[in-house]
Structure 1
Amino acid sequence: MARKQNQVIVEFIKLYRSEPCLWQVKSEECHDRTKKDAAYSKLVEKLEELEFGATKKSVITKIKCLRCAYRKEKKKVEASQKSEASTHSIYKPVLWYYDLLEFLQDKDTPRTSRSNVDDENEEKKK
């Protein structure tokens, strides 16, 4: 049973990757609601193989869970690399689908935040 579940997850991730309108925020497709709805419909169909009665909401939740787990592993890898550890002690991801989500690598970097306080200080200097 677990093997079939893993296979469906692999297919789900591959299908998600094939729909950049869902994950490439800077693309024109990302703003095309019709295209996104069609992509979500495909993912709902695939997720129904695991979850009876899957919906767009459950697909979005599944994607969030997959991405969250990927980000956690990625942070562990990056932290071990920054600690100037030897090559033997660099963290190796244990998440079985980590490699499948590497297409998200530069998509999951948080935006730099801006402080309103800095803006107010700049205004006062003028």
Structure 2
Amino acid sequence: MDQNKPFVTEFLETYKRHPALWNAKSNVSKNKHLRNLGIEDLLKVCQEKFKDANTAFVKRKINNLRTVFRRELNKVLKSKTTGSSVNEIYIPTLWYYDLLSFTTEDESGRVGISSLDDDTELQFT
């Protein structure tokens, strides 16, 4: 696995430079041309190590990396919501967890809207 770290690191850094591939809330994600450019850049990275790589390989690689990342993220979130103390919060063991954490930016930007005015006092009877 250590021999793949430089490849995966470069792959994820290239992936990060193409928000059209990972940021669903961005307008660029709707641009098919930008998505294809991102896939092409990732394909170049893959072909340096895997000569037979094609776009299907790139898409599978993205899916695999994100799936494993999402499992780790869910463990972290679950440990936070179970009322665990700070010492019991799950620490991700996935070595590229921090490298892929940028993909959660589009999800963490969700803002809740209150139906109550800020000046309204709640009265419980």
Q: Is it true that 1:101 corresponds to 2:105 in the alignment?
A: no
Over 6 Å off, 4+ runs: none
TM, length-normalised to structure 2: 0.78
- Which deviations, in whole Å up to 9, do the C-alpha atoms of 1:22-50 show, x marking residues without a partner? 11112222122222211111101101233
Count of residues in correspondence between the two structures: 108
- The residue aligned with 1:73 is 72
Q: Is it true that 1:30 corresponds to 2:33 in the alignment?
A: no
Looking at structure 2, the residues matched to 7 and 88 of structure 1 have their Cα atoms a distance apart, in angstroms, of 32
Looking at structure 2, the residues matched to 80 and 35 of structure 1 have their Cα atoms a distance apart, in angstroms, of 37
Q: Is contact 1:76–1:91 with CA below 8 Å preserved after alignment?
A: yes
- The residue aligned with 2:123 is none
- The residue aligned with 1:113 is none
How far the C-alpha of 1:58 sits from its partner, in A, is 0.7
Task: Give the alignment's Cα RMSD to 1 decimal.
Answer: 1.7
- The residue aligned with 1:47 is 46
- Identity in percent: 31
- How do 1:6-17 residues align onto structure 2 when only pairs under 5 Å count? 6-17=5-16
Looking at structure 2, the residues matched to 28 and 22 of structure 1 have their Cα atoms a distance apart, in angstroms, of 11
Looking at structure 1, the residues matched to 49 and 75 of structure 2 have their Cα atoms a distance apart, in angstroms, of 29
Distance change in 2, residues 1:49/1:4 (3 Å): farther
Q: Is it true that 1:20 corresponds to 2:24 in the alignment?
A: no
Q: Is contact 2:25–2:106 with CA below 8 Å preserved after alignment?
A: no
